[in-house]
Structure 1
Amino acid sequence: MNNKLRWSRLKLKLILCLIGSFLASAALFLLLQSTGEDLLEHYRTRSSFIDKQEQQALPALEEYVSGQHLSLKDDAQIAEWVRKTKYVNLYLYKDNQFLYSTDGYTIKTENTRFLPDPNIFSKSQYSTVTFADTTAQVYMEYFFEYKYYNLITILGVILSFLFFIVLVLFFINKKTSYIGVLEKEIKILEGGNLDYPITLKGKDELSSLAQSINEMRKSFIERLESEEQARVANSELVTAMSHDLRTPLTALVGYLDIIEYKKYQDQEALAKYIHSSREKAYQIKHLSDKLFEYFTVYNTEENDLEFESYDGIQLMDQLIDEQSMLLENHGFRVAWEPSPVPFRVELHLISFRRVFDNLFSNITKYADTSAAVTIAYRIEDRWLLIDITNVIKKEAHEVHSTGIGLKTCHKIISQHKGEITFTSTGGRYSVHIRLPVNNTLT
């Protein structure tokens, strides 16, 4: 319900625009009205135009009365002349007695409205008009200036309304122009140019829409780049794996052919070929297991992993103890430093064990047994930092590797929102793992 009641920013801007335009138009109307009245008053004092209209009114009445042969009883026709002439009031007197006025008062009315008394006017202020039945005194009130006041008001209203429309159209034009820009830029994106940025203007629903399109464009670019990198990496992996599988597989087929066609000299040679075939078969199995593990990890999304919270020190001690025993069985010395700060960490244990298995498996292949393998972990700024260092043996360059294990480690650690880096300096090889810590225990 809150979403229904909440006004959008664009609607609020439109309402504010209408209110602001109305106030600006009202101010313009008042300014035009005041200026126009001042100019009219100034013109009246300096011009005889209105005086001429007043002077022409009485002759026009006399001409109308004589032309229509009107009597004093023809008040309807007299009122019709006043209505057509406009801005005039007419008072008729006979022997200084009020007879009729065109503003609705007659001698029969009991209204106490003030009526002009001809005795208080000079002869220049009233005139004698001859009717068909008699003569009468006529007093006329003139309001010709109101015609121009009304004209000023009408022009002020028109100009203010046009000003209001211009302001509203200016606001709407800004928004429609921006919509046109967005439409043009979206068509550019549709054409395949994803590097073209979307223009961001203002802070309303249109700018929010543009921001969303921009984020979607960037996400799509990142996805395409990620897919391209994955395609290249998989292509390289397939090429390397095909070479690594072909070599032991070719040797295995050769050994089996020798055994099948009995091309060996004696039983000792046969046993040797069988042993070599078994080693090649295990080598192929190891490579296929690594390949399966790699594709299993890369086809697993982060949301598919069930993370659990663990006591960090207990978990790390257990994992390092397990790997230390394996290293010691291969003749390595292990030196490790636990964290003095208690902490908890959330991770997918099976995946995280796989990282340790791959890392320590590489140590058994490439590390020099004469130098100690050092392991240390600590807490810094709510991050768990793990460092594993060993000395590289001289024969390590002769051992070929596809790098599947390290790629698998990269993927697993990234699924845990962490980082893993590898450094090699002066014959020492180091692995650095960085994982977020849920909370430290005090």
Structure 2
Amino acid sequence: MIRKPVSGKLRNKLILSLLFSFIVSAGIFLLLQFTAEDLMGDYFNKSTFMENQKNQAIAEFKEYVSDNRLALSDHEQLTKWVGKMEYVSVFLFKDHNLVYSSDREEAAAGDENYIINPVLKGIPLVPVAFADTNVQLYMECFFEYKYFSIISYVTLALSFICFICIMLFFINRKTSYIGVLENEIKILEGGNLDYPITVSGDDELSSLAQSINEMRKSFMERLNSEDRARLANSELVTAMSHDLRTPLTALVGYLDIIAYQKYGTEDNLNKYIHNSREKAYQIKTLSDQLFEYFTVFNTEEEDLALDTFDGMPLIDQLMDEQLLGLQNHGIQFEYLPCSAPFQIDINLLAVRRVFDNLFSNITKYAETSKPVIIKCSLANQWLWLDIQNHISPNLERVSGTGIGMKTCEKIIKNHKGTLAVTRTGDMYCVHIRLPVKESALSPPQLCN
């Protein structure tokens, strides 16, 4: 069974899962970020929370200056406090001149660049008492950035957790499938080859499962084939032993009579010698059939050497050889040849062996007063051969191994064809079908 390659599908699915997880988690991050910022912004605008935070920071600054008895020139201590607070900027004014700014490394009183920004005019300033002087304080607070940063960290963590969960979902689907395959393979290891392997998806794992399933079926078929072959060989050996023992026992008896001169008259001696020859030839025929059977059954289709022939003259020639034998035995026949040319690949010796066996049976068992009918036809790139004859009513019941027909079936099977036998009353019919390269598409003619 030829399957399409699936190389890289599992990798592509993993990449798509990563992209999908990233896109979903990024969308969740943006949605949560914007929603939380909007809600928090509305809250800050509608409440006095930020104003309270600012008043608290101013109170802490004044307390810090008072407790540490700072002078206006203690810029390092002031900068240290601002750095500790993180989200504030401090501006100190004296007589409307900027004397300290936490946003600068130095302050120069009286410098025009440090004159209070006109934007601050009209904004109430807070008086602060230093150890050496009194100044006015303007404090800018950015506490909302603190909470916005917290929101960013929280939404980032949530989106990352979402990314991990989505990836785990996709990975879990594959790992759970691997677990299923592992359990099912263990069942096969236990000897239960009838248990089917689950095939799910369309990637390397499903391809592996399908391959294991096909291997399981092939192994089961091989075991069943070996069992059938073993049973068939056992039955064949049993039947051949019986068929060989009967003439062999008779042959030994005839030879004992001749050896011990118990035949009486000369006519009896000739009779025993004749019977001994008949039994010897019968044993030889059975042994030849057995040798032929094992030769054919040890030959596989790929080991059979095939040649291409023109079908019409070949079949006519093979039939002429066999029909001449029927004439010599006084058997009437009717031959209907093919009506269209074709080519066929066969092993001529093997196919001739089939016809020899079939027509040999006809000469033994056919009713001579009724014709043997051979029909040849073409249909759907197949050559159909149907041979029918009436069985002679004067024959004693024949019980044989059927080794000849088994050999014929195997030869035709090695040619990728079929051989079937039907019997209705005293009508015996053999149907042979062989593949051809060219044929007229006419319906096959079968036995009536």
> Partner residue of 1:228?
227
1:73–1:322 distance in 2 versus 1, CA, 3 Å: farther
TM-score by length of 1: 0.93
Kept in 2: contact 1:129–1:137 (CA 8 A):
yes
Q: Aligned equivalents of 1:88 and 1:420: distance in 2?
A: 101
> Partner residue of 2:8?
8
Q: Does 1:43 align with 2:74?
A: no
> Partner residue of 2:445?
none
Give how far 1:45 is off: 3.3
> Partner residue of 2:444?
none
Kept in 2: contact 1:96–1:118 (CA 8 A):
no
Give how far 1:130 is off: 2.1
Q: Aligned equivalents of 2:143 and 2:42: distance in 1?
A: 15
Kept in 1: contact 2:311–2:342 (CA 8 A):
yes
Kept in 1: contact 2:378–2:440 (CA 8 A):
no
Q: Does 1:317 align with 2:316?
A: yes
1:295-374 to 2 correspondence within 5 Å? Answer: 295-374=294-373
After superposition, give the CA deviation of every residue in 1:62-110 in whole Å (9 maximum; x if it has no partner). Answer: 111222232333323222211211211122222222233222364469x
Give how far 1:411 is off: 1.4
Kept in 2: contact 1:28–1:160 (CA 8 A):
yes
Give how far 1:123 is off: 5.2
C-alpha RMSD over aligned residues: 2.2
After superposition, give the CA deviation of every residue in 1:284-340 in whole Å (9 maximum; x if it has no partner). Answer: 000011011111111111111122222111221111111111121111122111211
Structure 1 unaligned runs (5+)?
Answer: 1-5
Kept in 2: contact 1:386–1:433 (CA 8 A):
yes
The one-letter code matched in structure 1 to 2:12 is L
Q: Aligned equivalents of 2:411 and 2:116: distance in 1?
A: 107
Kept in 2: contact 1:100–1:107 (CA 8 A):
yes
Q: 144-153 or 346-355: which moved more?
A: 346-355
Kept in 2: contact 1:313–1:343 (CA 8 A):
yes
1:116–1:334 distance in 2 versus 1, CA, 3 Å: farther
The one-letter code matched in structure 2 to 1:178 is Y
After superposition, give the CA deviation of every residue in 1:106-141 in whole Å (9 maximum; x if it has no partner). Answer: 4469xx9998626843353x2122223323222111
> Partner residue of 2:400?
401
1:90-129 to 2 correspondence within 5 Å? Answer: 90-104=90-104, 106-107=106-107, 117=117, 120-122=120-122, 124=124, 126-129=125-128
After superposition, give the CA deviation of every residue in 1:150-177 in whole Å (9 maximum; x if it has no partner). Answer: 1111111111111111111111111111
Seq. identity, % = 57
1:138–1:357 distance in 2 versus 1, CA, 3 Å: same
1:235-246 to 2 correspondence within 5 Å? Answer: 235-246=234-245
> Partner residue of 1:381?
380
Q: Does 1:58 align with 2:55?
A: no
Tell me how many residue pairs correspond in the alignment.
Answer: 434
Kept in 2: contact 1:365–1:396 (CA 8 A):
no
TM-score by length of 2: 0.92
1:152–1:371 distance in 2 versus 1, CA, 3 Å: same
Structure 2 unaligned runs (5+)?
Answer: 1-5, 442-448
> Partner residue of 1:176?
175
Q: Aligned equivalents of 2:303 and 2:100: distance in 1?
A: 102
After superposition, give the CA deviation of every residue in 1:330-357 in whole Å (9 maximum; x if it has no partner). Answer: 1112211121121111222222222212
